[in-house]
Amino acid sequence: MLERRQLDAALSAAGLDATAMAETHPALFSLTALALPAAALAATRDLVAALDAVAALPAWQARVLAWAPAIAQLPQAAQGVFFGYDVHLTVDGPKLIEINTNAGGALLNALLLKAHGRQTEAAALEAAIVAMFRAEWAAARGDVPLTRIAIVDEQPASQYLAPEFQLFKQLFEAHGIAAVVADPADLVRAGDGLCHAGQPVDLIYNRLTDFALAAPAHAHLAAVYQAGGVVVTPHPRAHALLADKRNLMLLSDESSLIELGVPENLRRIILAGVPRTVAVEAGPDDPDWAERFWAERKRWFFKPAAGFGSRATYRGDKLTKRVFEEILQGGYIAQEIVPPSEHPVTVGAETQSFKADLRAYAYQGQVQLFAARLYQGQTTNFRTPGGGFAPVFPA
């Protein structure tokens, strides 16, 4: 188990104020590391690779882009950085809960590795992250030098993971790439390009949760992106191909996978790893659909198709009739509940049971890092004392 002084030393070495972080982010980092079975981690790698392979199929792309926004139809050479595959580990293997296209926390977990004395692993991860951004740039621009990256989010200084933005800025600059942390309003359109403080921006590391760049405040970003004037990663197409929660309905349905030409070996992995997911809407000749969902609500987890970060998500066994009526208005999917694994965590002098979500950070179908989020309650929250990000090591 990590000692607080070791974590504080790692924070300070990274240029972060350890005292301030303890006050503002008391449950961002757990002092516990998880030792997980190597077989479970290998199975998760296989699931990630299978999902990435399916997303590359032309039939899959045609199917999911049909319900995606227009901006996602634009082909992109860049693949998208920091796909985050969130799974629950069960006795039957990993079960996919959701896929994120702007998964935060990778550099925070690199910092945790350093605190645990895993300097070599942390250095390798940081090198892989820089190489990933360079690969995104090269795919889109070839041999043109990558000069400046803007790390973009709404009011970035107020975001809970704002410390990570500073870590990214430091990492890019240490590798000879100028970097700024910016609100979309800080970026000014200049012809078909974008500038920050008068300097052109080559690439946007996109941390926005407006996945389609549809908000009026992001219209200039969308226009320049569509004109090819800036490389955006992750981009709207990446979200549409994998992270749109409606895609889980196809991934968990064997007939849909067969129809889309998914090979049998991939179908076997995906169907074993993706819990049944359905639309919360009337089916053909199903006048009693609402009553059926209410009667079966305890087996489902209800999520907005366009949601993120556990917002407006509800366990069926905790659902009130009032909230259920709101869900029935549309835009929700229901996923079979898969309880997370639970692990003992020492908090002070007491050992408590914590739930764990396992996140696989991946690029082009290859897992770069496993990390856990420890919590108590319905969903991950970074509020449980003793919880937060935790490194994962094979048992």
pLDDT attached to residue 328: 86
pLDDT attached to residue 90: 97
pLDDT, tens digit, 9 for 90 and up, residues 8-41:
999 999 999 999 999 999 999 999 999 999 999 9
DSSP notation for 189-237:
EETTEEEETTEE--EEEE--S-TT--SGGGHHHHHHHHTTSSEEES-HH
Q: Measured between alpha carbons, how far apart are the two ends of the chain, in Å?
A: 15
CB 245 within 8 A of CB 303: yes
CB 270 within 8 A of CB 251: yes
User: Which stretch of DSSP H or E encloses residue 290?
Assistant: helix 289-295
Residues of the chain with pLDDT under 50: none
Q: Look at strands 178-182 and 231-233 and give their pairing.
A: unpaired
CA distance 53 to 262: 9
| Token pair recorded at residue 134 | 């360079």
For the chain, helix (H) and strand (E) counts, in that order, are 14, 18
pTM, full prediction:
0.94
CB 368 within 8 A of CB 113: no
Angle between helix 58-65 and 38-55 (nearest 10): 80
pLDDT, tens digit, 9 for 90 and up, residues 258-305:
999 999 999 999 999 999 999 888 766 677 888 888 988 899 999 887
The residue written with tokens 């917002």 in the block is 311
| Token pair recorded at residue 178 | 């100028």
CA distance 169 to 136: 17
- Among 11, 3, 52, 9, which residue's Cα sits nearest to residue 362? 52
Q: Is 243 left (phi over 0), alpha (psi -120 to 50) or beta?
A: alpha
